[in-house]
């Protein structure tokens, strides 16, 4: 082989020939030994609470009471466990707080109960069949005579009771409503109810509303999870009654509305549309679904790059808000730099216009998102990347408990939709409120709670995009190139996950956290004029483009009938991203805003001579399945390299459950590097993983691996 041939950079695509026979995990485990529990007293107390609960349900007017019981399980705050750990145990015991939203959630399944939700105070909303209540009561009374395994199932539960009204409706919202006026409200039903039971429940609710001739149900719907809901014009009095009367109602709240997270520029000098350099064949370009406020059907420039249009039933039916145009132009043209004499370049991507706008400009109907995604996935399989540049106006923690739980249910549905359909969704990190100056000045502003992420941006299976300043202009609060945009919301995400995942150019802001001419990025208005606006809305499309480009390039090396997984694209972009700029002396700002930096699919077209990339994708069938992949590392390269390292990125799409919100993901993966299947795992130089977040990174020093393998 000639020196030129040896130095030619390449990407390597591992296939089934590199996969060894599957292995299985070994089972095992012992029963936890709880201490200092009087099982006779505990069993009697649980049985009494179940007896009272049964009487209350029998007296209820809920039509589902013959088949379902939705009840509250209150936890024992702290338990003592036997332990031999000399560092942690005192007198042979350690203390553990109960957490139904994490590891203790399993106790309900072992008792035959369904976990529905976990409240802020740690109480769990669970479902049981009426006949199971008698069985549970008898078991509770017999606890002193039962074995250790059966007792351990009951140890964390203090008592059972009815679900209080304040876990169905936020009291602050309810009390703020006018007693006389109607309000637009959504009634969410508990899961596990069938269609006949839902119909009976709706009729019972309508009978309550009929007492006031002005009240009415105005719409119905079903979430991706299968849970059903109705929407209507309802008074405060009726909302309170429904919350008290029907335990089959999970929640009552105002409509879930997100906002297009871009900023509107001040009045600008009128500018004529720029000349256009037309692309020859837009139909060959990759497509990104733009879930937004829509693009006018007759747009003079973007119309040529439209792949299709979907108008959500909840949409106002027009593209009156300019946000959708601006986002779509960033999808089509990327991060252009407008200068005098500018000519609109050929587009390099197309968009599928998915209009989910609300009644008022800039609003997004959250309940319309999943019907839209389902429609596009079913009818346009070439659309595998979606851009969502919107989120709630408030940070997640600022939303009332009940409505926050419903927002997280939609995030859960998004994660499970991605898992089921193998797509990639890019979400903008969001903006701080326009004109709100943080309590600590930039660059320490990230400690202000108003800069925390909203619900959508915390999705595990999506890619959240933060924003940095791509060019410096006079009057900006940020004076360092590539530093985080001052308005960009910051992580962490759910379960302290490392959100945002990546970042792109979204512009700057003034010291008053307002828009200033020249501080934004460039995109198109509804009339085809190039304007500059700042916002994370306009950074996210740049990441969505790279996802679509990576899909397109990886498809070329797939066998006929196969396609690259979304997680394959995610892992590749994470592996090859350009690291974010060093934000010393405040490195936490970069970590919580910029993620892994700028993503690019360029390495798939132009491999690097300094590093090699190996890509493998596969399916794990169940929780016992282990994939064993052979990684071909050239011996000559290993011998000649001064600092040989192996960076391993593993990505997966897990199904999630909002009930276990301190875990979120219901599946976890681990990765080990071995010299041969029976060898011990190699030690890593660096491990980056965060709980159950479905992306992990490990770095191995191959000099040490090589030395240890020859011992």
pLDDT, tens only, 412-455 = 999 999 999 999 999 999 999 999 999 999 999 999 999 999 99
Position 300 scores a pLDDT of: 92
Q: For residues 5-34, give the mean pLDDT.
A: 67
Burial annotation 655-686 (CB, 10 A radius, 16+ → b, else e) = ebbbbbbbbbbbeebebebeeeeeeeebebee
Q: Is the pLDDT of residue 269 over 80?
A: no
Q: Please tell me the predicted confidence (pLDDT) of residue 17.
A: 65
pLDDT category at 598 given cuts 50, 70, 90 is very high
CB-neighbour burial class of residue 3 (10 A; exposed 0-12, middle 13-18, buried 19+): exposed
Q: Phi/psi at 309 (nearest 5 deg)?
A: -140, 135
The ranges assigned to domains in the chain are 3-26+604-709, 34-163, 167-255, 259-591
Res. 705 pLDDT band, cuts 50 70 90: low
Decide if pLDDT at 286 tops 80: yes
141-178 pLDDT, tens digit each = 999 998 888 898 999 999 999 999 999 999 999 999 99
Which superfamily does CATH assign the domain made up of 167-255 to? Answer: Peptidase S8 propeptide/proteinase inhibitor I9 (3.30.70.80)
Instruction: Tell me the C-alpha distance between 446 and 192, whole Å.
Output: 41
Cα-Cα end-to-end distance for the chain:
31
Dist. CA 419–CA 409, nearest whole Å: 15
Contact (CB, 8 A) for 615 and 601: no
pLDDT of res. 86 = 78
The whole-angstrom separation of Cα 452 and Cα 489 is 6
pLDDT digit string, tens, across residues 644-680:
999 999 999 999 999 999 999 998 888 999 988 888 9
Residue appearing with tokens 């529905």? 116
Residue 53 neighbours by CB under 8 Å, 6+ apart: 69, 71, 133, 160, 161, 162
Contact between residue 348 and residue 545 where contact means Cβ atoms under 8 Å apart: yes
| Cα–Cα distance, 424 to 419 (Å, whole number) | 9
pLDDT for res 711: 42
Can you state the angle between helices 39-58 and 130-141, rounded to 10 degrees?
A: 160
Mean pLDDT, all residues of the chain: 91
Task: Read off the pLDDT of each residue in 176-201 and give the average, rounded to a whole number.
Answer: 94
What percent of the chain lies above the pLDDT cut of 70? 93
For residue 2, what pLDDT is reported? 45
pLDDT tier, 3 (very low <50, low <70, confident <90, very high otherwise): very low
Model pLDDT, residue 87: 81
Residue 264: predicted pLDDT: 55
Average confidence (pLDDT) over 301-327: 87
Q: Band of the pLDDT at 319, cuts 50, 70, 90?
A: low
| pLDDT score, position 24 | 55
Topology at the third CATH level for domain 259-591: Rossmann fold (3.40.50)
Q: What is the Cα–Cα distance from 635 to 644, expressed in whole angstroms?
A: 11
The answer to whether residues 500 and 491 touch, using CB atoms and an 8 Å cutoff, is: yes
pLDDT of 384: 98
Asked if the model's pLDDT at residue 265 lies above 70, the reply is no
The answer on pLDDT for 707 being more than 60 is no
Confidence label for 329 from pLDDT (cuts 50, 70 and 90): very high
Q: Over the stretch 221-231, which tens digit does the pLDDT of each residue have?
A: 999 999 999 99
pLDDT of 343 over the 70 cut: yes
> What pLDDT was estimated at residue 25?
55
The helix or strand, by DSSP H or E, that contains position 327, with its residue range, turns out to be helix 323-333
Average pLDDT rounded to a whole number, residues 111-138: 95
Rounded distance between C-alpha atoms, residue 407 and residue 404, angstroms: 5
> Is the pLDDT score of 332 beyond 60?
yes
pTM value > 0.75: yes
Q: In whole angstroms, what is the distance from residue 212 CA to residue 329 CA?
A: 49
Whole-number pLDDT of residue 710:
44
| pLDDT band (50, 70, 90) for residue 31 | confident
Q: What was the pLDDT predicted at 1?
A: 41
Strands of the sheet with 502-505, listed across from one edge: 306-311, 350-355, 287-292, 385-388, 424-428, 463-468, 502-505
């Amino acid at each position: 082989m000639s020196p030129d041939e040896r130095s030619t950079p390449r990407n390597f695509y591992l296939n089934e020939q590199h996969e060894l026979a599957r292995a299985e995990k070994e089972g095992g485990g012992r029963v936890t030994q709880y201490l200092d529990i009087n099982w006779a007293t505990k069993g009697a107390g649980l049985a009494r609470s179940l007896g009272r609960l049964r009487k209350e349900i029998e007296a209820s007017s809920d039509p589902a009471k013959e088949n379902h019981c939705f009840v509250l399980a209150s936890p024992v705050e702290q338990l003592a466990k036997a332990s031999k750990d000399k560092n942690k145990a005192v007198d042979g015991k350690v203390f553990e707080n109960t957490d139904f939203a994490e590891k203790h959630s399993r106790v309900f399944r072992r008792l035959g109960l369904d976990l529905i939700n976990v409240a802020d105070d740690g109480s769990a909303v669970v479902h049981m069949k009426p006949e199971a209540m008698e069985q549970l009561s008898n078991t509770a009374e017999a606890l002193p005579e039962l074995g250790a395994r059966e007792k351990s199932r009951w140890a964390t539960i203090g008592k059972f009771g009815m679900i209080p009204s304040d876990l169905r409706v936020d009291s602050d919202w309810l009390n703020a409503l006018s007693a006389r006026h109607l309000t637009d409200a959504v009634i969410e039903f508990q899961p596990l109810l069938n269609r006949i039971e839902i119909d009976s429940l709706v009729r019972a609710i309508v009978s309550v509303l009929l007492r006031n001739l002005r009240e009415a149900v105005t719409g119905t719907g079903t979430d991706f999870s299968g849970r059903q809901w109705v929407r209507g014009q309802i008074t405060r009095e009726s909302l309170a009654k429904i919350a008290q009367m029907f335990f089959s109602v999970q929640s009552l709240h105002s409509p879930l509305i997100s906002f297009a997270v871009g900023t509107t520029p001040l009045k600008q000098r009128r500018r004529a549309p720029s000349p256009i350099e037309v692309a020859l064949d837009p139909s060959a370009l990759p497509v990104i679904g733009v879930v937004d406020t829509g693009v006018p059907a007759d747009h003079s420039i973007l119309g040529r790059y439209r792949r299709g249009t979907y108008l959500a039933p909840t949409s106002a039916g027009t593209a009156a808000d300019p946000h959708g145009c601006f986002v779509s132009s960033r999808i089509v043209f990327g991060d252009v730099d407008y200068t005098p004499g500018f000519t609109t370049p050929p587009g390099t991507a197309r968009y599928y216009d998915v209009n989910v706008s609300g009644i008022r400009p800039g609003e997004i109907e959250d309940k319309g998102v999943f019907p839209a995604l389902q429609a596009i996935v079913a009818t346009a399989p070439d659309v595998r990347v979606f851009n969502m540049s919107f989120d709630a106006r408030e940070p997640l923690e600022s939303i009332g408990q009940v409505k926050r739980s419903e927002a997280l249910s939609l995030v859960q549905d998004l994660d499970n939709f991605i898992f089921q359909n193998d797509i990639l969704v890019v979400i903008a990190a969001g903006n701080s409120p326009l004109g709100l100056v943080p309590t600590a000045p930039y660059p320490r502003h990230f400690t202000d709670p108003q800069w925390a992420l909203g619900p959508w941006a915390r999705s595990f299976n999506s890619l959240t995009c933060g924003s940095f300043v791509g060019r410096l202009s006079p009057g900006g609060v940020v004076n360092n190139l590539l530093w985080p945009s001052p308005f960009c919301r910051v992580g962490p995400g759910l379960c302290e996950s490392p959100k945002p995942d990546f970042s792109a150019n979204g512009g700057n802001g003034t010291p008053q956290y307002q828009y200033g001419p020249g501080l934004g990025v460039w995109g198109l208005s509804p009339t085809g004029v190039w304007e500059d606006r700042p916002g994370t809305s306009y950074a996210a499309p740049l990441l969505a483009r790279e996802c679509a480009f990576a899909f397109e390039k990886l498809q070329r090396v797939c066998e006929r009938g196969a396609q690259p997984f979304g997680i394959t694209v995610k892992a590749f972009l994470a592996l090859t991203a350009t690291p974010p700029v060093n934000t010393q002396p405040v490195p936490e700002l970069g970590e919580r805003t910029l993620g892994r930096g700028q993503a690019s699919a360029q390495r798939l077209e132009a491999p690097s001579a300094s590093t090699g990339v190996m890509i493998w994708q596969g399916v794990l069938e169940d929780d016992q399945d282990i994939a064993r992949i052979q990684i071909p590392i050239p011996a000559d390269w290993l011998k000649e390299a001064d600092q040989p390292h192996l960076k391993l990125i593993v990505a997966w799409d897990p199904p999630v459950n909002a009930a276990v919100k301190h875990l979120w993901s219901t599946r976890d993966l681990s990765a080990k590097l071995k010299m041969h299947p029976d060898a011990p795992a190699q030690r890593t130089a660096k491990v980056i993983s965060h709980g159950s977040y479905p992306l992990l990174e490990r770095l191995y020093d191959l000099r040490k691996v090589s030395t240890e393998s020859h011992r």
